[in-house]
Amino acid sequence: MSKRQPSTISVRTGIETDSTWGAVVPPIYLSTNYSFSGYDHKGPFDYSRSANPTRSLLAEALAELEGGAGAVITNTGMAAIHLVCSLLGPGDILVAPHDCYGGSYRLFEALSGKGAFETIFVDQNDEQALSDALSRSPKLVWLETPSNPLMRLVDIANIAKQVKEQNALLAVDNTFMSPVLQQPFEFGADIVVHSATKYINGHSDVVIGAVIAKTTELHEKLAWWANCQGQTGSAFDSYLTLRGLRTLVPRMRTHQENAQIVAEFLEGHSGIKKVYYPGLESHPQHELAKSQQKGFGAMLSFELDADEQGLINFIERLKFFCLAESLGGVESLIAHPATMTHAGMSAAAQLEAGITPQLLRVSVGLEDSDDLVSDLKQALDGVAS
């Protein structure tokens, strides 16, 4: 049979597999443990930390969506990132983006600080800086594209080529795109990481993560560490996430249609200094986004032309954008990276990464786009009030 398309994978995984009652939707297995069929006869499942039937279905779907050999479902996105760090030991080098998600930055910095490995943070679009970092023979290179919160892209295929020359592994945090809009294995990645809390679950009611490996060998190694360290996700969270995943493709379609409308509106408004959205022609990597991604996603950032009070006025007037962390849910959100998502970074690191006090990040939801635009318009009208 030909390769299944993303909507089919999302909708059909596990459907009609219940041999007990013929349930169309796969039931949730909450049991901690599973009986052996006899002395020394273990079935496919024995203890839910190691493996669980509900979690396995979600892993199967995500591995197929990304085109990998296997996936490990973890209890948070950060646990997924931490799990990948288990591949590193003292003396190993990790090359990570200087503007990665604040939680990833904090984890890499903290683990390096206690000697677990060494991290080199680098602007991965600075060819010289990247090549200097790669010449130190890293074991792992981390990418996040588009980056959080400034939507900077990196060319995965180009970096993958350089990483392979160093015999290093390449991991990509694909949270912002979801497997529907970007498949890093196509471009040479070895590991894909998701905060499945975001688009994959899509309903802001689960915190969960995933690591997908390109090869069976790497998958087995990661699954071993996840069991050893107790990082695997719960059956209930896996069940909810599989439920959310069913609609991933149509959600992503509407998310990005709305985001394009919102981005164009903001770009045309005199109260906005700059908009960062790969779907705008003004985005410096618009062409790369067109070739590497299957869409532009629904995350955007912008700089408000206002002082701190103006920024507060703007945020307080918004009705359809919740001031909240996270992203990728059906509801629109707005965040102030400097005091929220990226507060874990020092002021100097924030500035280095381009995070100014006027920067706001939006996760565009599935509300009606006319309502979103008129809400932004009325809030912008009140900036000076």
**What are the catalytic residues?**
49, 101, 173, 198
Instruction: State the minimum distance, in angstroms, from the CB of residue 131 to ligand PLP.
Output: 25
| Beta-sheet strands, E only, within the chain | 70-74, 93-97, 118-122, 140-144, 169-173, 191-195, 209-213, 272-276, 299-304, 322-323, 333-335, 359-363
Q: Which of 6, 70, 77, 278 binds ligand PLP (CB under 6 A)?
A: 77
The full DSSP string for 147-205 is -TTT-----HHHHHHHHHHTT-EEEEE-TTTHHHH--GGGGT-SEEEEETTTTTT-SS-
Torsion region of 216: left, alpha or beta (phi above 0 gives left; psi -120 to 50 gives alpha)? alpha
Tell me if 195 contacts ligand PLP by CB under 6 A: yes
Rule CB under 6 A: say whether 173 interacts with ligand PLP.
yes
- Output the residue with the shortest Cβ distance to ligand PLP: 77
Amino acid identity for residue 355 in this structure: I
> Which is nearer to ligand PLP, 48 or 231 (by Cβ)?
231
Site for ligand PLP in 316-375 (CB under 6 A): 326
Q: Are strands 118-122 and 299-304 parallel, antiparallel or unpaired?
A: unpaired
Whether 101 contacts 75, CB under 8 Å? no
Q: Is 148 in the site for ligand PLP (CB under 6 A)?
A: yes
**Binding of ligand PLP by 78 (CB under 6 A):** yes
What is the C-alpha to C-alpha distance for residues 33 and 321, in angstroms, rounded to an integer?
Answer: 43
DSSP state of 91: T
Interface residue with ligand PLP, options 48, 52, 119, 175 (CB under 6 A): 175
Decide whether 7 or 229 has the Cβ nearer to ligand PLP.
229
Q: Does residue 123 touch ligand PLP according to CB under 6 A?
A: no
Q: Cα(128)–Cα(36) distance, rounded to whole angstroms? A: 57
List the one residue from 103, 344, 357, 382 that touches ligand PLP (CB under 6 A): 103
- Of the candidate spans 8-16, 71-79, 107-115, 132-140, the one that interacts with ligand PLP by CB under 6 A turns out to be 71-79
Distance of closest approach, residue 241 Cβ to ligand PLP, in angstroms: 11
Q: How far apart are CA 70 and CA 251, in angstroms?
A: 24
Residue 56 or residue 147: which is nearer to ligand PLP going by CB? 147
- How near is the Cβ of 162 to ligand PLP at its closest, in Å? 23
Please tell me what DSSP assigns to residue 71: E
Specify the residue, 7 or 326, whose C-beta has the smaller distance to ligand PLP.
326
Q: How many residues contact ligand PLP, by CB under 6 A?
A: 15
> Phi and psi at residue 4, in whole multiples of 5°?
-75, 145
State the residues that interact with ligand PLP by CB under 6 A: 76-78, 101, 103-104, 144, 148, 173, 175, 195, 197, 207, 209, 326
